Amino acid sequence: MLELLGGPTSTCCCKVHLTVVEKGQEVLEREVNVHKHQNLTDEYIEMNRDGMVPTLLHDGRVLVESSVIMRYIDRCFPEPPLTPNNPNDSMRMDLLMKDLDEKYHSAIAFVSFSESSRGHDGELTDAAQIRLKSFDRIPEPKRREQRRKSVLLGLLSDEGRCACGFLETMIKDINSALELGSYLAGDSYTLADAALTPYVHRLWLLSCEELWTKDYPRVQEWYTRVKERSSFAEVFTKYENETRHRYDKDRSNTLGTWQRFRDALDSIGEKIDDPAVRLPPRIWS
């Protein structure tokens, strides 16, 4: 039995959960609520020293880091394969997942934390103030500081503008990859699709779908395609009521998240030596 420790509001948990469901495996879900700081207890950190979700337990082994866990699951359960045999398709999958880990994850975390920490007046909520104090228990100093900034700073800060620029790049790269097939690494669903789906869905929940609906229709077609899979219903639709308190499209509309996101994008390049950038898409072929 696979045991998945985490929760449905975590993009990293969702991409692992998608992988498990696509493999046709049963999983026992054990909640570790990051909003109640259960990932920062001594008991959890003893098992996962970084205090991050998810953690996967399998046959007495403790597995951490979502992309590593996804590849482990794909190797343990060969059918259906979620890694392409074609070297070029496999390369595309690997690079999309590398960019996700190195750039896009911290970007979506910044935008998500920043927007969910503010009320209709733009001020930090009481829950956000409590969250700030909980970050003192994050073991790794760099990530501790990143989390603090994501709550304290808005999308128009340099850090917020960098995050918005990276997420626009992610959409461009997805669109470019879809020139070569129905899915991100060819004509079959792969780990790349499982990895990127939670991030595009989070942007939709943040009411930022205009990033792709106007100029990148292939992304919308892909998003519709993955939403029609049974794995999406099991990982996302099933928990809609539970996650709505944290990420809700109607609330994002009311708060004006997309307007701030768009203003952040529009401001990139206005400063000398601007730390934020709007990159062109990767050229895959």
Res. 209: pLDDT tops 80: yes
Q: Measure the CA angle with vertex 141, ends 140 and 142; round to 5°.
A: 100
Average pLDDT over residues 81-109: 97
Task: Tell me the three-class secondary structure of 232-281, residue by residue.
Answer: HHHHCHHHHHHHCCCCCHHHHHHHCHHHHHHHHHHHCCCCCCCCCCCCCC
Query: For 150-172, what is the mean pLDDT?
Result: 94
**pLDDT at 36 (0 to 100):** 87
pLDDT over 80 at 120, yes or no: no
**What are the two backbone dihedrals, phi and then psi, of residue 3, each rounded to the nearest 5 degrees?**
-115, 120
- pLDDT tens profile 42-84: 999 999 999 999 999 999 999 999 999 999 999 999 999 999 9
Tell me: pLDDT of 171 over 90.
Answer: yes
Res. 169 pLDDT band, cuts 50 70 90: very high
Report pLDDT for 67.
98
Q: Is residue 222 a contact partner of residue 125, using CB atoms and an 8 Å limit?
A: no
- Host H or E run for residue 105: helix 105-116
Q: What is the CATH number of domain 87-267?
A: 1.20.1050.10
Which range is least confidently modeled, 37-41, 110-114, 142-146? 142-146
Token duo for residue 208: 């930022």
Average pLDDT over residues 159-169: 97
Q: Where in the sequence of the chain do the CATH 1.20.1050.10 domains occur?
A: 87-267
Give the pLDDT band (50/70/90) at residue 152. Answer: confident
For the residues 248-273, what does the mean pLDDT come to?
Answer: 93
With bands split at pLDDT 50, 70 and 90, how would you rate the model's confidence at 137?
A: confident
Question: Could you tell me if 17 and 235 are in contact, meaning their C-beta atoms sit under 8 angstroms apart?
Answer: yes
Report residue 140's pLDDT band, with 50, 70 and 90 as the boundaries: confident
Residue 110 confidence (pLDDT): 93
Q: What is the mean pLDDT of the chain?
A: 94
State the Cα torsion 265-162-98-52 to the nearest 10°: -120
Fold of 2-76: Glutaredoxin (3.40.30)
* Residues 8 and 247 sit within 8 Å (Cβ to Cβ): no
pLDDT at site 224: 98
Whether the per-residue pLDDT at 26 is higher than 90: the answer is yes
